[in-house]
Amino acid sequence: MDKTLLKGLRALEVLATSEQALGVTELAQRMGIVKSNAHRILQTLVAAGFATPVQDTGRYQLTLKLWSLGSAVAVSTDMRQLAAPILGRLRDATGETAFLALLDGSQVTYVEIHPSARAIRVHTAVGDRMPAHCTSAGKILLAHDASAHDEPDAIALRSEFKKILSQGYAVNRGDYRKEVSGIAAPVFDTQGKVIAAAGISGPTERFRTAVVKEWVPAVVRAGADISRMMGVKS
C-alpha cells in the first residue's frame, strides 16, 4: 500500500470537508502528521492543480479540479445509462457487438458493451482498454481532438483524420487485430465537444465494404441519438 498516496488522498478529504482554508499547521494537526509532511503534501496538491494558496494568508483551499473529475464520472455514468437502449438497438440492427467508448490519453476505454448474439463475435468487456490510433472508436475521438494530432501514434493518421471529420464516422479494418474490425461515430455534448464514441465491432470477415456501407447510417444515427439524450438539440 502506498502510504504517500494515502496521505495525499486524506489531505484532499480534510480540505474538502473543512469550512475554511487551512494552513500547514492546521492540516498537520488534523491529519496527525508533522508539519514538514503537511507542507510537502500541500505543495504537491498545488503543483497538480488540486489546491491553491489563499493570497497573503498562508492557507490553502481546494480548486474545482476535484469537482470537475467527479462531474466527469457522473456524466460518464449517466451517459452509459442513456446510451444502453440505443446501443441495444444498434446491436440488434447489425447483429454485431455495440459499444460506447471514451478517450483516455492514448487509449480508449470501453464503458458500455452490448455483445453480439452470434456464436463468432468480438469479446470485449466493460473496462477494456485499447490503443486509440488503431481502433474505430479511438480514431473518431482523436480526429475530433486537435491537441492529439501531434502525438507520435497520430501523426501518420492526419490525412485519415481529415477524411473522418468530413464523413462523420471512422472505420477500422483489422488495424489493431487483423481479425477484428469496427465502425464508430461521435457522441457530442451540449457545447459541441465530442465526449465519446458509439459503434460496433466484429469479425473482419463480416465487415465487407458493401456491408460497412449498409451499417454506417445506423452507427451514425446511434451516435446522434445518444448526443440528443445528452441534451444536444437536433
Residue 8, domain CATH? 1.10.10.10
Instruction: Check whether 69 has a pLDDT greater than 80.
Output: no
Are 221 and 123 found together in one domain? yes
Length of the chain: 234
Residue 187 pairs with which residues in a beta bridge?
196
Candidate ranges 20-34, 75-89, 151-165; pick with highest mean pLDDT: 20-34
State the average pLDDT over residues 214-223.
Answer: 98
| 52 and 76 inside one domain | no
Taking 80 as the threshold, does the pLDDT of residue 45 lie above it?
A: yes
Residue 197 has pLDDT above 90, yes or no: yes
Clarify whether residues 47 and 125 are in a common domain. no
Does the residue 55 lie in any domain? Answer: yes
Q: pLDDT-derived band of residue 4, with 50, 70 and 90 as boundaries?
A: confident
Q: What percent of the chain has pLDDT over 70?
A: 92
What local confidence, expressed as pLDDT, does residue 105 receive? 82
- Quote the CA–CA distance of 133 and 135 in Å, as a whole number: 6
Distance CA 175, CA 137 (A): 12
Q: What is the pLDDT, as a whole number, of residue 1?
A: 65
Assess whether 214 and 183 both reside in one domain: yes
Helix ranges restricted to H, the chain: 3-17, 24-31, 35-47, 65-94, 136-143, 152-155, 158-167, 209-229
Residue that finishes a domain, picked among 63, 91, 106: 63
Domain residue limits at 175: 72-229
Average pLDDT over residues 85-89: 97
Reply yes or no on whether the pLDDT at 149 is more than 70. Answer: no
Tell whether 154 is covered by a domain: yes
Asked if residue 70 has pLDDT above 90, the reply is no
38 with 133, same domain: the answer is no
Question: What is the structure's pLDDT at 148?
Answer: 64
Q: Give residues with Cβ within 8 angstroms of 74, minimum separation 6.
A: none
Let me know if residue 16 belongs to a domain. yes
Measured between alpha carbons, how far is 127 from 113 in angstroms, rounded to an integer? 10
Q: Is residue 83 part of a domain?
A: yes
Mean of per-residue pLDDT scores for the chain: 90
Q: Are 57 and 108 in a shared domain?
A: no
User: Both 82 and 171 in a single domain?
Assistant: yes
Residues 6+ apart with CB under 8 A from 38: 11, 24, 25, 27, 28, 31
**21 Ramachandran zone, left/alpha/beta (phi>0; psi -120 to 50):** beta
Residue 57 and residue 77 share a domain: no
All three cell numbers of 206, joined, read 463480416
- Residue 234 belongs to a domain: no
CATH classification at residue 191: 3.30.450.40
Is 77 in the same domain as 59? no
Is 112 in contact with 88 (CB distance < 8 Å)? no
The pTM score is 0.70
Greater confidence (146 vs 228) lies with 228
56 or 97, greater pLDDT: 97
Same domain, 58 and 90: no
- Asked whether 129 and 138 are in contact (CB, 8 A), the reply is no
Tell me, yes or no, whether 17 lies in a domain.
yes
Of the chain, the percentage scoring pLDDT greater than 90 comes to 68
Is the predicted pLDDT of residue 147 greater than 80, yes or no? no
Question: Which of 17, 42, 63 marks a domain boundary?
Answer: 63
pLDDT at res. 53? 92
Of 196 and 104, the one with more pLDDT: 196
Please return the burial class of 77, using the count of CB atoms within 10 Å of its CB with bins 0-12, 13-18 and 19+. Answer: exposed
Does 114 map to a domain?
A: yes
Please tell me whether residues 190 and 211 are part of one structural domain. yes
Residue 72: all three cell numbers together: 466527469
Where does a domain end: 14, 40, 63? 63
* Residue 26 belongs to a domain: yes
Cβ atoms of 94 and 213 within 8 Å: the answer is no
105: left (phi over 0), alpha (psi -120 to 50) or beta: left
Q: Indicate if 84 and 196 belong to the same structural domain.
A: yes
The structural domain count of the chain equals 2
